[in-house]
A and B are shown apart, each in its own frame.
Chain A
């Protein structure tokens, strides 16, 4: 009796068809690979900690390698899900075509879940790039005075970070002295178009 036949009999398939054998192979190999990968990651971490402590070294998987392993785990999970869902469907309905389709969707679903997890990890990253358009509507003060039809500098909080940005007055003939409170009304390139706040705006700001 071959190994696959033994597995098939253990799973309740006395005389498995070719499709059932494929499902069994996928389920067994996918699960084995997935478990081994998970085990290696866990044991690797434990071993890494032991080696780090004993020899005062840095022995750990870097980010790139972790992502590669993660991808391999995704493939292993997809293959495993294909096999398991196929076996479940074929034993429940006896329809091989339905089992193959269901197995494929299960594999796609597991891949999709991996993608969602990857997306979640990616969303945790912040590149710190400022979008100048986010400054529109923000209030700040003039850092370096803005002369008529010339640029100066303003300090505005954009995306929670105080930035010093090049600015021009909306009214070309206006001069805005240093420390004057302003509001960004538009952005052209990296230059803020600002106008001074009047006293009414300041009161509204305090009320907010």
Chain B
């Protein structure tokens, strides 16, 4: 398992949030689509796509953390 520091996001609460989101976010998105009278296939596709937003959000936060840590650092990379 690659240690990318994601387990330290949100004061170490992110791993728990991530599991919760991966489990419940697609269900929520599917229900939104279903209640909005979208076609069930489109709702399902949107629900599946919503899982990727968790990973994208994680990468975004990691990049933010990395940028804030190295802000003002004059080390040549």
Task: Identify the A interface with B (CB < 8 A).
Answer: 18-19, 22, 71, 74-75, 78, 82, 96-97, 99-101, 104, 107, 111, 115, 118-119, 122
Q: Is the interface of A mostly helix, strand, loop or mixed?
A: helix
Instruction: For the complex formed, measure the closest distance between the CB of A134 and the CB atoms of chain B, giving whole angstroms.
Output: 18
Out of A74, A104, A118, name the residue touching B28 (CB < 8 Å): A104
Take A75-B20, A107-B24, A111-B20 as given contacts and tell me if A100 and B31 are in contact as well, using a CB distance cutoff of 8 Å: yes
**B13, CB-defined interface residue at 8 Å:** yes
Q: How far is the CA of A99 from the CA of B11 in the complex (A)?
A: 31
**B64, CB-defined interface residue at 8 Å:** no
B35 touches A99 (CB 8 A): yes
Q: Which residues of A contact B13 (CB under 8 A)?
A: 115, 118-119
Take A104-B28, A107-B24, A115-B10 as given contacts and tell me if A96 and B16 are in contact as well, using a CB distance cutoff of 8 Å: no
Q: Which residue of B lies closest to A17 (CB)?
A: B35
A122 touches B20 (CB 8 A): no
Q: How far is the CA of A22 from the CA of B30 in the complex (A)?
A: 12
Take A71-B16, A115-B13, A122-B12 as given contacts and tell me if A96 and B24 are in contact as well, using a CB distance cutoff of 8 Å: no
Q: How far is the CA of A107 from the CA of B34 in the complex (A)?
A: 19
B11 touches A100 (CB 8 A): no
Instruction: For the complex formed, measure the closest distance between the CB of B47 and the CB atoms of chain A, giving whole angstroms.
Output: 12
Q: Which residues of B contact A71 (CB under 8 A)?
A: 16
B20 touches A100 (CB 8 A): no
**B32, CB-defined interface residue at 8 Å:** yes
Take A74-B16, A107-B24, A111-B20 as given contacts and tell me if A119 and B11 are in contact as well, using a CB distance cutoff of 8 Å: yes
